[in-house]
Amino acid sequence: MAERLSFYDEIRNNKLKSLALIIIIFLFFILLAYVISLALNFDFFIISIFATIFSIFYILISYYNADKIALASVRARPADHIEHKMLFNTVESMSIASGLPMPKVYVMDSEQINAFASGRDPQHSVICVTSGALQKLTKQELEGVIAHEMSHVANYDIRFMTLTAVLVGMISIIAQVFLRNLWLSGGRDSDRKGNGNLIILVIAIFAAILAPLAAQLVSLAISRKREFGADATGVKFTRSPTGLKSALEKIKHESVSPQDLKRYSKAVAPLFISDPFKKKFQNLLSTHPDINDRISKLSRM
């Protein structure tokens, strides 16, 4: 018999793992900056500072408008209190259970069962549900889906992933600035410093190439951990894994229509409760954990 899981333990473990992963990204950033500082003069850092400031400024604008960008990209419309009465009742019920403010509620046209939450904090949150979810899910299943999305709001996942994006963005910018500077200088900096610095220069080049890739892989791992965390927190809100588990089982057996493939933006896809593109194989480049693993964990809670 499989060992029972505590949703409290799952929530704590996934938060700790997410924190550990973001520390790894930060260490990538420090290591890359240190290695490059050994290989180049400080002119590089002046350029990097400006590039980093630009990156942070751009991401912060996106962060404060994340909900508007996400809703516009899927052509979502405000839910109607009469037409979508069960949806409003469910969101209100989960708002009370979670102790969070009532988010704004939206609906998007799609045959798929799916939903996403966005917003920088609980006071500025939105929840969007597909028309397919409203048609195909029972009240208990819809409750499980909404609880999962409310969990992302409660856990400040948008803020957490924005911080991750800032760090990954800074690593990518510093690596690009270094490689471009090296290309434009034609290696003159290393020539002036002599052959003794060649090994450090080679290490810096490899670090500049590999660090952004490694940081992106860690970022995707964080995204998967946040999904597991939202599942566990959703169980905490509903006090039962049954609804969410049943909804994920329905999602698992769905196929993607050509219309839906055009409807979803790849930039917004990580926000959804499941991968809207239904990739056949889950791997290191997946933003969502394998749906079978999620169902298995929920079955043991």
- Mean pLDDT for 276-297 is 80
| CA angle 209–213–215, rounded 5-degree value | 115
Q: Domain residue spans in the chain?
A: 7-64+158-223, 67-155+242-280
In terms of C-beta density within 10 A (0-12 exposed, 13-18 middle, 19 or more buried), how is residue 7 classed? buried
Q: Name the band, by pLDDT with cuts 50, 70 and 90, for residue 1.
A: very low
User: Which candidate in 111, 141, 143, 149 is catalytic?
Assistant: 149
Say yes or no to pLDDT of 4 above 70: no
Report the alpha-carbon distance of residue 183 to residue 205 in Å, rounded. 11
Put simply, whether the predicted model's pTM sits higher than 0.85 gets the answer no
Q: Annotated catalytic, 249? A: no
Q: Name the band, by pLDDT with cuts 50, 70 and 90, for residue 77.
A: very high
pLDDT at position 27, please? Answer: 80
pLDDT at position 194, please? Answer: 46
CATH code of the domain made up of 67-155+242-280: 3.30.2010.10
Q: Name the band, by pLDDT with cuts 50, 70 and 90, for residue 2.
A: low
Q: Name the band, by pLDDT with cuts 50, 70 and 90, for residue 197.
A: low
- Identify any residues that bridge with 118 across adjacent strands, giving them in sequence order: 126
Which amino acid, one-letter code, is at 277?
A: F
Tell me the residue ranges of DSSP E strands in the chain: 77-78, 104-108, 115-118, 126-130
CB 71 within 8 A of CB 250: no
User: Could you report the per-residue pLDDT of 236-255, keeping only the tens digit for each?
Assistant: 999 999 999 999 999 998 88
Report the alpha-carbon distance of residue 185 to residue 194 in Å, rounded. 15
Say yes or no to pLDDT of 184 above 70: no
pLDDT at position 90, please? Answer: 95
Please report the DSSP string for 193-254 in residue order. H-GGGHHHHHHHHHHHHHHHHHHHHHHHHHHHHHHHHHHHHHHHHHT-SHHHHHHHHHHHT-
